[in-house]
Amino acid sequence: MSSTVLDEFYGPVGDELTDIQLMDKTLKDIFNSKGGKSKALGAMFDAFCRKYHSLEAFTQYGTEEIEQFLVQHCRNATQGIVQQLHVLDVLKAAFPSEQQQNKIVAKMISQSDGKVKISGEGDEDIARLKYVCGPDTRTVEWALKLANNINALGGDWRGCIIEKQSSIFAVQYRGRVSLNQQIADTAKLCRLPDDPKERVKIGEDPVIQLAPSAHSSNCELDLTVAQGLVSKQICQNKQSYELKGLHEPIALGNSLDKVRSGLAPDYQGRMQIYREFCMQLAKDPENLLRNIEQAAANNNVDSCPLVRELGGEPFAQAKEVAEALLTYLRRIKLDNSQKA
């Protein structure tokens, strides 16, 4: 039986009119049209016997074939009653009072306005294309009258007939939607948890979830620098600092600001630091955690002045990341010759 729904164009909203009461009433009408329940079931059994001759068919034919035959018989037997159902009649039966009908149409209009937050407009009336859709003229005219009385914001509602449609729904189109504003609003709603132990639960892979982002802030860069220091990926060479490279060290500068400037555009370098940090955490977690704790307490890591310049906070964050990852990395079996 087709679903009669008042909804916002294929969205998971609206009100389902085909409830258990309607189905029970329709089934009763179908039985009455066939002379009662016994005669309806008898007619189905007669059709089965004409097709398969006896109940031995269940041992000779697949149950799927028999099921399809019985379903098709029921469809043919109920088609006349079901096709008489009309969405507007069903709606008025479910919501008989004018107040109830106004309320249900107002809900449809509100839902058709969309779920995306639009901000910064105030009371400005922005023109829209607004449509009320239904299966025939009678339904559309009824819905249009109520819709225009309920909401005239952005212009009048227009009617749209979609034949063989068993629902009534509203659609609105509007312009002047700022994509940048939508991205900014979404970013606020989708902010990741600050706690690394909670953040690792969100992504598909815990290690990747805590990896450096492509565009890191100074706070994130400081965390990477701390991870590089405790994993010996960032080292002091005379008065300057270097990042271990594949062939030769990469100069970073002689201060925290210059180290940040050197790492900010080098995403590959930041990922190298994070990778080695995770590898050491998997192979020798006690040693790495000891280095982190010493640095967090502002004890020098090999007497490196950059540790003092960073302060304790980035190392405390590095410890939180290590503890969040350790639960997962302990499950990985590595030997000293194995590479990621």
Q: Is the dihedral of CA 245, 248, 253, 258 positive or negative?
A: negative
- What tokens does 282 get? 């998997």
The per-residue pLDDT for 161 is 93
- What tokens does 7 get? 């909804």
The per-residue pLDDT for 336 is 46
The per-residue pLDDT for 103 is 92
The per-residue pLDDT for 272 is 93
The per-residue pLDDT for 121 is 56
The per-residue pLDDT for 1 is 29
The per-residue pLDDT for 307 is 86
The per-residue pLDDT for 333 is 55
Which candidate, 27, 329, 79, places its Cα nearest to that of 206?
329
The per-residue pLDDT for 58 is 85
Which candidate, 48, 54, 38, places its Cα nearest to that of 72?
48
- What tokens does 149 get? 């009385």
The per-residue pLDDT for 153 is 74
Hey, where are the domains in the chain? 12-88, 91-115+125-180, 193-329
Which candidate, 274, 292, 184, places its Cα nearest to that of 220?
274
The per-residue pLDDT for 221 is 93
Question: In the structure, how many helices (H) and strands (E) does the chain have?
Answer: 16, 8
- What tokens does 162 get? 């979609």
The per-residue pLDDT for 7 is 39
Within the chain, which residues score under 70 in pLDDT? Answer: 1-13, 115-125, 189, 203, 298-303, 331-340
pTM of structure? 0.47
